[in-house]
Structure 1
Amino acid sequence: MKKLNTIIATIISSVFVFAPLQKTFAATQTSLTRSAAEQRALSIINLNWTYSINKNSILPSTNGDSVTQPTQFKNVTTATMTGIPYNWGGLDSLDSSSSGAPWTNFLNAIDNGAFAGNVNTSAPYGYIQGTAGIDCSGFVQAVFNIKDYKLSTSTLFNSYFTKISLSNLKHMDILDKPGDHVVIFDKWGTQNGVQGAFTYEATPDQTYGGIQGTKKYFITMNEINLGYIPGRYVNIIEDSSTPDPMPTSDLYGIVSNVVYAANFRVNPSTSAAIIGTIPKNTILKLLASNSGWYNVTYNGQTGWIYSSLTASVPYNTYVTVNNVYQLNIRSNPSSTTSILGVLTEGQYAKVTGISADGYWYKISINGVEGYSAVKYLKYIN
């Protein structure tokens, strides 16, 4: 019996030596409002940075065979990128860094020659030193500014999130499928006629477009019902009710709920003079809001349109030019084919297809439909 007790004691000791409990700091975290969390999410999603093939595509010397670069860097020499690339096990954001990394944040990592991203989610080593970017749970951790060891989809509910009912889900709550994926909930809606939720997330999935990384995205209700658990950050603060908030810089609307066009006025009032009309299905950037009206610019003039005459722009559907003032629209996906028209800064074209090689979007605007180079386009949401 004494020998048996000695063996048991040895086993218990080994467990505590090799599997220490993970430290958590839930009680010391800083509270933040839903709007503050959203701004952190958008700052990560909209982050602009410069990629260099000579600097950010050198594979790590250790476990480099387990690294797969995200598709947005394919055949790119140098370019301004938007969003942080997906990186399995990574936690590199605006103000956080991956475990053991010699940098302080994502931009610092890129400046120091880190390899940009890793979409090999089956890599046996998890996070690989020398790679920079962020994965789904890392993105959630960064958005809510949780200062702790790297969290996973299986540990989010341990200290930082409480489970809630789906009917109680609010903007900036989460949907977590432990061991698989986690997203931040934006709002309910439909995409391509399918019911689901618009999200903020970091993902290598591109079913609904966007980079392999941080972006506004979509998850179907069927997928949500396959094991996603609604959750709420334990330190979240509800925003005060304030009328007519300024829309975020990337908020757009589409003219709808009209037969042909909406009136465009000099001031936010039905008694204000009419500048002109804006045709149905026109995409507008929303500059401000006031008493149920949106301030917009159309055809070089700035005025107001009644908000009920607009609707949200479908996600990953409309594009505008990226780092160029004007872009040719061609008859076929080749720079040698005829030019049918141009897309200029401040115009928004609908994506209707993509070339077989993935380098050209088929776009439609003002009755013109043709192809423009993907590298000079960006989705407006």
Structure 2
Amino acid sequence: MKKISSLIIGILFGITTVVAPIKSVSANTVQNPITRSEAEERALKIINLTWTYDKNKNGNLDPKYASYVTSPSQFDNVTTAQFTGIPYNWGGQDSLDSKSINAPWTNFLDGVNKGAYTGNVNTEAGLGYISGTAGIDCSGFVQAVFNIQDYKISTSTMFDKYFKKISLNELKHMDILNRAGDHVLIFDKWGTLNGISGAYTYESTWEQIFGGIQGTKKYFVTMDDINNGYVPGRYINIVDDSNSSNSSQQSSQSPVKAGQFAQVTKVTYSAYFKAAPSDDAALLGTIPKGTILYLIDQANGWYLVNYNGKTGWVWGELFTSIPSGKYVTINNVYQLNIRSNPSSTASILGVLGKNQYAEVLDYSKDGNWVKIKINGIEGFSSRKYLNYIY
């Protein structure tokens, strides 16, 4: 879990540093608009930057700062090697085209070539940026991705000027999640990792629970962590791409109704799965695009469904009806055997249960058996116990 720094440390980091003062944000700086795809391209260029580390060149630090600096773990026991990604550096702002406050270089690669000490994951020292170190922290990464040409922003000042708070329902690709005094990340998409619900991200972080360097990388944040103080936000100068439609709610009318199967289609990545039929209800997780669900009930435009063992609500306009003749469900039985061949004496491979659906693959020559597929099982079931969905 990411550690939440004390309020005092967070405030100090947001406005000052003992070693090198971070100036207040300029009130007159004008920023250029940036599309979501342009911002993503910048994020990936930073994350995928390759460079060469040399301990003799990039592992030397002024002794007076030694107690305030901890080298990122990827440099442990390394003399020289090529790395991908910019190392995490508390208070740092060194990127492809930006530099840390008062640094004698123009960007991260220039700092490496000039012998800068690369990275600092000591977030508890309470100082902020240490002169002579090169790398980027979480808020510096966000600032670099959106190409904000101004003084250093921190997680404590994230919503002061350049970002506005939004609801979790409004969160889109390349919006942010910010926890003041602790961490900020860029949202890519909803998903699961090792069975855990959450979001895929772009960020610079010292954390390595889900792998990667201590630095810039594609990463993951759990839903439990998101609900533990993260505030969604959006860059005020972001421009939606012409084909961007990652909407949690759309205006077209859904043709589905309760008591039928329907498919999640009218989203870019996934649909929000709510604890109650309301925008303000707690988020249970997300349901990937293409998922077929049985609609148990409906209320105020929302549909009650069961997904991954949980019962919750999905906005109705995200569904479309199932194509006729493509999927079947059981009729007048509690469950139906799936057999290896079109015969009542063939071996049983699995069962099709109530409120489950199966994809139709083929038919027996006599038409009395349907070859179906469900949960990776392919086999035959008796046609007289099957109904087509829709």
State the TM-score bracket (shorter-chain normalisation): 0.5 to 0.7
Which residue does the alignment assign to 2:50?
A: 48
Q: Structure 1 residue 182: deviation in Å?
A: 0.3
Which of 114, 133, 153 is the aligned partner of 2:155?
A: 153
Which of 84, 87, 90 is the aligned partner of 1:85?
A: 87
How many angstroms apart in 2 are the aligned matches of 1:205 and 1:122? 14
Residue by residue over 1:150-186, the C-alpha shift from the partner in whole angstroms, topping out at 9 and shown as x without a partner, is 1100101000000011011000000000111000000
Which of 209, 212, 218 is the aligned partner of 1:210?
A: 212
How many angstroms apart in 2 are the aligned matches of 1:242 and 1:207? 31
Which of 33, 57, 60 is the aligned partner of 1:58?
A: 60
Which residue does the alignment assign to 2:139?
A: 137
Which residue does the alignment assign to 2:121?
A: 119
Is the 8 Å Cα contact of residues 22 and 152 (structure 2) preserved in structure 1?
Answer: no
How many angstroms apart in 2 are the aligned matches of 1:110 and 1:101? 12
The change in CA–CA distance for 1:158 and 1:26 in structure 2 (over 3 A counts) is farther
The change in CA–CA distance for 1:56 and 1:103 in structure 2 (over 3 A counts) is same
Amino acid at match of 1:163: K
Q: How many residues align?
A: 226
Structure 1 unaligned spans of 5+: 1-18, 244-256, 258-381
Which residue does the alignment assign to 1:223?
A: 225
Correspondence 1:171-210 to 2 at 5 A: 171-210=173-212
Q: Structure 1 residue 63: deviation in Å?
A: 1.6
Residue by residue over 1:98-122, the C-alpha shift from the partner in whole angstroms, topping out at 9 and shown as x without a partner, is 0111111000000000001000001
Task: Please tell me whether residue 235 in structure 1 is matched to residue 237 in structure 2.
Answer: yes
Q: Structure 1 residue 123: deviation in Å?
A: 1.7
Amino acid at match of 1:72: Q
How many angstroms apart in 1 are the aligned matches of 2:22 and 2:195? 48
Which residue does the alignment assign to 2:24?
A: 22
Q: Structure 1 residue 48: deviation in Å?
A: 0.3
Is the 8 Å Cα contact of residues 153 and 182 (structure 1) preserved in structure 2?
Answer: yes
Amino acid at match of 1:234: I
How many angstroms apart in 1 are the aligned matches of 2:22 and 2:80? 44
Q: Structure 1 residue 26: deviation in Å?
A: 6.9
Which residue does the alignment assign to 2:169?
A: 167
Q: Structure 1 residue 25: deviation in Å?
A: 4.6
Residue by residue over 1:237-288, the C-alpha shift from the partner in whole angstroms, topping out at 9 and shown as x without a partner, is 1101289xxxxxxxxxxxxx9xxxxxxxxxxxxxxxxxxxxxxxxxxxxxxx
Residue by residue over 1:70-103, the C-alpha shift from the partner in whole angstroms, topping out at 9 and shown as x without a partner, is 0001111111110000000000000000011111
Is the 8 Å Cα contact of residues 175 and 184 (structure 1) preserved in structure 2?
Answer: yes
- SS at structure 2 position matched to 1:87: coil
Correspondence 1:301-340 to 2 at 5 A: none
Name segments (4+ residues, structure 1) moved above 4 Å: none
Is the 8 Å Cα contact of residues 60 and 131 (structure 1) preserved in structure 2?
Answer: no
Task: Please tell me whether residue 95 in structure 1 is matched to residue 97 in structure 2.
Answer: yes
TM-score (norm 2): 0.56
Q: Structure 1 residue 23: deviation in Å?
A: 3.1
User: How large is the Cα RMSD of the aligned pairs?
Assistant: 2.0
How many angstroms apart in 2 are the aligned matches of 1:42 and 1:60? 32
Amino acid at match of 1:148: D
Structure 2 unaligned spans of 5+: 1-20, 246-289, 291-390
The change in CA–CA distance for 1:20 and 1:67 in structure 2 (over 3 A counts) is closer
How many angstroms apart in 1 are the aligned matches of 2:25 and 2:202? 27
Amino acid at match of 1:140: V
Amino acid at match of 1:231: G
Is the 8 Å Cα contact of residues 23 and 151 (structure 2) preserved in structure 1?
Answer: no
The change in CA–CA distance for 1:104 and 1:62 in structure 2 (over 3 A counts) is farther
TM-score (norm 1): 0.57
Residue by residue over 1:303-361, the C-alpha shift from the partner in whole angstroms, topping out at 9 and shown as x without a partner, is xxxxxxxxxxxxxxxxxxxxxxxxxxxxxxxxxxxxxxxxxxxxxxxxxxxxxxxxxxx
Is the 8 Å Cα contact of residues 197 and 222 (structure 2) preserved in structure 1?
Answer: yes
User: Radius of gyration: which is bigger?
Assistant: 2
- SS at structure 2 position matched to 1:241: coil
Is the 8 Å Cα contact of residues 51 and 82 (structure 2) preserved in structure 1?
Answer: yes
- SS at structure 1 position matched to 2:64: coil
How many angstroms apart in 2 are the aligned matches of 1:176 and 1:202? 13
The change in CA–CA distance for 1:240 and 1:223 in structure 2 (over 3 A counts) is same
Q: Structure 1 residue 60: deviation in Å?
A: 2.5
Residue by residue over 1:1-56, the C-alpha shift from the partner in whole angstroms, topping out at 9 and shown as x without a partner, is xxxxxxxxxxxxxxxxxx99823357600111000000000000000001001100
How many angstroms apart in 2 are the aligned matches of 1:44 and 1:74? 22
